[in-house]
Amino acid sequence: MSNYKRVSLNFGQHSAHFGEVGIGVEETSERVRSDTLFSALIVTYARLFGKDAVEDLLKSFDPSPPFRISSTFVYYDDGKNRIDYLPKPLKFPRGYPVGNDLEFAKTYKKIHYLPLDVWQRWYQGNGFTNDDRTELIGYTNKTKTSGSLNNAGIFDYSQTYQIHKTPKVAIDRTTRATNFYHTGFVQFDRSCGLYFLIEFINADQDLENRLHAALNLLGDEGLGGERSSGAGQFEATWSDLSDTWKKLLNCSQPTDYSLISLLWQTPIPDTLHADRASYGILERGGWISSPFSGRQLRRKKVRMFVEGSVFPVRPDGQLADVTPYQFQKLHKIYRSGIAFSLPIILY
């Protein structure tokens, strides 16, 4: 029987750099996707327990994974109330007035993340209501009044963090020539941070303890880029799921499934790209970080389904082998495309 945990990452006063596509290192996201989080965990796991242990762990993902992790998402927690944000599925909720939404369509499209309570109501409960429509119209017309959406925090996502750019200078070791550039950093409000879900497919206390240790080491070293500057350091808190989370995960009679992680699978089953599916695709590349080789190489690029993608069946996903040719004799490099999805009801 699956065992779920919610892991909260508190960055405190530490900024973080989560690289995004852009010019150099100027751009940063406010969160980390599941493949990056998985890779960071595997690297620290290898440092703690050695090459044989991490190879055994990776082998255990075939034919089915021992655990799944979601991407990270923003949370707000002032000690009294907690808001966990989730990606809005790429399908309209039940009750949404398709074709009759001109008065609030721009506002709806700008909302990419939903508070947990709103997500559960729209995609597992009563769906979109007339009160929701009225409130979105009011927000669009800048005559915002209090309502269930506002009280849940649906319009407050952008206030949980700030992104700033720090000027830096690089000095060439040979010519001493200087190069001026900017690096983007995200700074979370003191009541905010990131969280992710982890599902242990079978009870395995030893594996859970090892992942605890790996995550603690990762918190000391930092998540993301610019770690040599102290960026990305965090404290991790593991907790059981709230009643709302348990109800959400145990939704009965779902019609579809929405990703809260990236997904890669080959070959792609016909059921995943059926007419009812709605998805986005993102190319993932980057550099290899290996504790055993000391070499810096680019890994192979893969294209993955993004969070919020909706499929008519529960997707599984796989580890993608992204080992570059020059690395073949050292060890394999994997990117996680293991799916973590939530059940939804669309009709």
Residue 69: which pLDDT band, with cuts at 50, 70 and 90?
Answer: very high
For the segment 215-239, the average pLDDT, to the nearest whole number, is 90
Whole-model pTM: value is: 0.91
Residue 183 has pLDDT above 60, yes or no: yes
Q: What does the pLDDT read at residue 237?
A: 96
Amino acid identity of residue 27, one-letter, is: E
pLDDT tens figures, 292-326:
555 566 667 889 999 999 999 999 999 988 877 66
Residue 331 has pLDDT above 90, yes or no: no
Measure the CA–CA gap between 197 and 338, rounded to whole angstroms.
13
For the segment 132-154, the average pLDDT, to the nearest whole number, is 90
